[in-house]
Amino acid sequence: MVTSTHETSHRIFQDHPEVLTPAFEALGLPPPAKAIIEALTPDATEIKPLERRVDTVLKVEPSEGDGFLIAIEAQTARSSAKGSSWSYYVAYLHAKFGLPVLLVAVCRDRSTASWAAGPFESRVGNWTTQATRPFVLGPDNVPVITDESMIVREPALATFSAIVHSDSEDAPAILGMVARGMRSFDKATAKYWCEWLEVGLEDTPVQETWRELEKMVGTYFPGRGTLFEQTYLEGKAEGRAEDRTALILRVLEKRGIDIPETARERITSCTDLDTLTLWFDRSLTAGTAEDLFADDPA
């Protein structure tokens, strides 16, 4: 099934092949910055009307060494038929372009990632004629965003990482860090990467979390009807305070933090945006609701 998350998980490589850095490093290959990379047609259909299509195909010409192809497949769940399809893709692309093929599977959960690593074999008895072993990009080898500077230095990898780790229990905190890091972007850059992430998280458990966090970034997408436009074209200061109050309570509730009535009243009665922003930052890691008010005057 094709979803927005599926499409974003492989399309990002077409525009930003630097996201392949973890795979290149693991394989000891030259990083994308030192290679010429171009997107090829993903169509693997032959004369007979049986359509086969790889998600993304890239041709890599390193500054040193021979060229090769990268076939990228976004996989959100196990599929009994996928092993034979992947074997076909590799064989077809190798025959068509005369270049070796690296198959990369992008997975958001560890169970699917473990399965996707294969091998997927064509065998008779003890004899294996063909074995396909994809390289998997997933939660175990895509770096987790640990500080805001990563968003500034490598926005493509940070965006991809947020999508890959969207099933993690730390996903709300990761997205909160992304939102804070994007505040340093100019309007056009923030618009670009927020749109990637909004679409990429559309089919994930943290979709609504990100839609709330987008209001904190401080930009909008004109004419698209997104949260940016709703918030920054129509929002007033008091409306933004209400949004931040609701977001703080939502984050605490999602993290299973008990909110005593006194703490809830203090949060909902606050109208100072700076204070609410501080409390929101603390809500991502707080152990109790009272931790939000640490060092604050009673």
What would the pLDDT profile of 93-126 be if each residue is shown by its tens digit?
999 999 999 999 999 889 999 999 999 999 888 8
Among 101, 119, 1, which residue's Cα sits nearest to residue 57? 101
Q: What pLDDT does 2 receive?
A: 57
Q: Which two tokens stand for residue 126?
A: 């003890």
- Whether omega before 119 lies within 30 degrees of 0, making that bond cis, reads yes
Amino acid making up residue 57: V
Quick one: average pLDDT of 13-21? 78
Among 166, 170, 168, which residue's Cα sits nearest to residue 198? 166
In the predicted structure, residue 85 carries a pLDDT above the cut 60: yes
Domains and CATH numbers, the chain: 4-137 (3.40.1350), 148-293 (no CATH)
Distance between CA 285 and CA 240 in Å, rounded?
22
pTM over the 0.95 mark: no
